[in-house]
Chains A and B, each alone.
Chain A
Amino acid sequence: MPASEIAELVPQLHNVVCTVNLGCKLDLKSIALLARNAEYNPKRFAAVIMRIREPRTTALLFSSGKMVCTGGKSEEQSRLAARKYARIIQKLGFPAKFLDFKIQNMVGSCDVKFPIRLEPLVLSHQQFASYEPELFPGLVYRMIKPRIVLLIFVSGKVVLTGAKVRNTFAFSVFQDKKELLHSY
């Protein structure tokens, strides 16, 4: 695969995790009883697990008023979903606000379309790469700058995670790493 094609590769996002502060204490028991798609099992986990169908996401609502929203396919979708959850809480009677929305993690994947040889990669990048075929079939590459973890597989598929901002994905560092992989 020529270098120019690798440079155009943009990973697809599969999951975006965000947190938001609703700014008021929540009564989890009443939320679990009143809301439709909510589950609450205080003995197992101290939060209400709520799901909405559009965008398909799951939220963990804590009694302090903080919320974690997972499952969004893009940052906008994630923000929209978080707003929807805040709206649900508002409708249930709590003075919910939308403070400190922050994206914590984004997971994406891409395919470089050529097989990758992991052994030379781990030999040359020993301080970043860890490959233990007995434990996991993929190579775990912990990039320092930007702080991303890549799971690199023999088939050429790469999973990226740990990014907080999208452009860390389509980063130039990713490009030159892929060119490096091409040489393997």
Chain B
Amino acid sequence: MASTSRLDALPRVTCPNHPDAILVEDYRAGDMICPECGLVVGDRVIDVGSEWRTFSNDKATKDPSRVGDSQNPLLSDGDLSTMIGKGTGAASFDEFGNSKYQNRRTMSSSDRAMMNAFKEITTMADRINLPRNIVDRTNNLFKQVYEQKSLKGRANDAIASACLYIACRQEGVPRTFKEICAVSRISKKEIGRCFKLILKALETSVDLITTGDFMSRFCSNLCLPKQVQMAATHIARKAVELDLVPGRSPISVAAAAIYMASQASAEKRTQKEIGDIAGVADVTIRQSYRLIYPRAPDLFPTDFKFDTLWTNYHSYKLRKLM
């Protein structure tokens, strides 16, 4: 997904007799040799290996093999700028102790906003422990959107949050809008708007969310054992297949399925607890639960061990629920 902003127009050396052959580089002699006929095409090629040996076990502050910053040039348009460092000798300080040469700013004036956004994305992702691949995808999406400039008027944070949402979706591990809201200062409405705009601008689409995408996360947050999680996944999937819950958000259906599975097992969770984790109101869970309850025996997996039989646990609670 990295944008191809570099032109591939560098002149390539080729063997005169075999222009299609890929040249083999010989580092020791510094040659580029044609594998077909053995002709040495380019000589005195500069050796790009390291100048001196470095030992990685002693973590000295300076790494002698590094001559530049380790920023990824893929995302920030080639970070080849340098800056003058702070002085070390006595002559670099004036009489009050302030350093004489003070210019340490505007290292990368263009795309400073983009760097800022990347930092914000990393911070947001860190709050919900997202892996590096999602952060990279988010950065790429943001760069594409930023270069397109069609959403230039929108707040960068909003675009960053929406990119994060899209990246999670594209990687197959969607996060709910509410979860993204929790780590961002932008409202759900604005993130939703930016989301739709970005999909239109980049002309991509995302897969629909399913109930199973959220099961592992919600169940682990509720400390439910694996059997309950598997049962809940099964219940939710069957409920959607049998179309018992038309028009309900998959999150609500998932929450109701978790409720049903947890109530049937030894690890019971209240609707309020599940609602807090899933970001749905407990009345919403109640509504979806009412829809799936009549078909409860069909929804449970066949090998489920019931701690509380589904016929029992609602006889007294029925009035409260319904």
Q: Which residues of A contact B251 (CB under 8 A)?
A: 133-134
Q: Give A130-144 as 1s and 0s: 1 = Cβ < 8 Å from B's Cβ atoms.
A: 111111010000000
* B196 lies within 8 A of A130 (CB): yes
Q: Which residues of chain A (114-151) have a CB below 8 Å from chain B?
A: 115, 117, 119, 122-123, 126-127, 130-135, 137
Tell me what chain A mostly uses at the interface: helix, strand, loop, or mixed. loop
* A137 lies within 8 A of B209 (CB): no
Q: B78 near A: Cβ within 8 Å? A: no
User: A184 to nearest B CB, angstroms?
Assistant: 11
Q: B146 near A: Cβ within 8 Å? A: no
A63 to B246 CA separation, bound complex (whole angstroms): 49
Q: Which residues of A contact B170 (CB under 8 A)?
A: none
A40 to B139 CA separation, bound complex (whole angstroms): 48
A153 to B246 CA separation, bound complex (whole angstroms): 10
Question: Across the two chains, which residue of chain B brings its CB closest to A154?
Answer: B247
For A133, give its contact among B199, B205, B249 (CB under 8 Å): B249
A180 to B246 CA separation, bound complex (whole angstroms): 19
* A127 lies within 8 A of B192 (CB): no
Q: Which residues of B contact A155 (CB under 8 A)?
A: 246-247
Tell me what chain B mostly uses at the interface: helix, strand, loop, or mixed. loop
* A131 lies within 8 A of B208 (CB): yes
Q: Which residues of A contact B199 (CB under 8 A)?
A: 130
For A123, give its contact among B208, B247, B248, B249 (CB under 8 Å): B208
| A residues contacting the other copy or chain, number (CB 8 A) | 17
A131 to B247 CA separation, bound complex (whole angstroms): 11
Q: Which residues of A contact B195 (CB under 8 A)?
A: 132, 135
A127 to B199 CA separation, bound complex (whole angstroms): 10
A133 to B249 CA separation, bound complex (whole angstroms): 5
11 pairs of residues in contact across A and B, judged by CB atoms under 8 Å: A115-B246, A122-B208, A123-B208, A127-B205, A131-B208, A133-B250, A134-B192, A134-B249, A135-B177, A137-B249, A154-B247
* Apart from A117-B246, A135-B195, A137-B247, 19 more pairs, CB < 8 Å: A115-B246, A119-B208, A123-B208, A127-B205, A130-B199, A131-B208, A132-B195, A132-B196, A133-B248, A133-B250, A134-B176, A134-B177, A134-B249, A134-B251, A135-B177, A135-B192, A137-B249, A153-B247, A155-B247
List residues of chain B with CB under 8 Å of any chain A CB.
176-177, 192, 195-196, 199, 205, 208-209, 243, 246-251
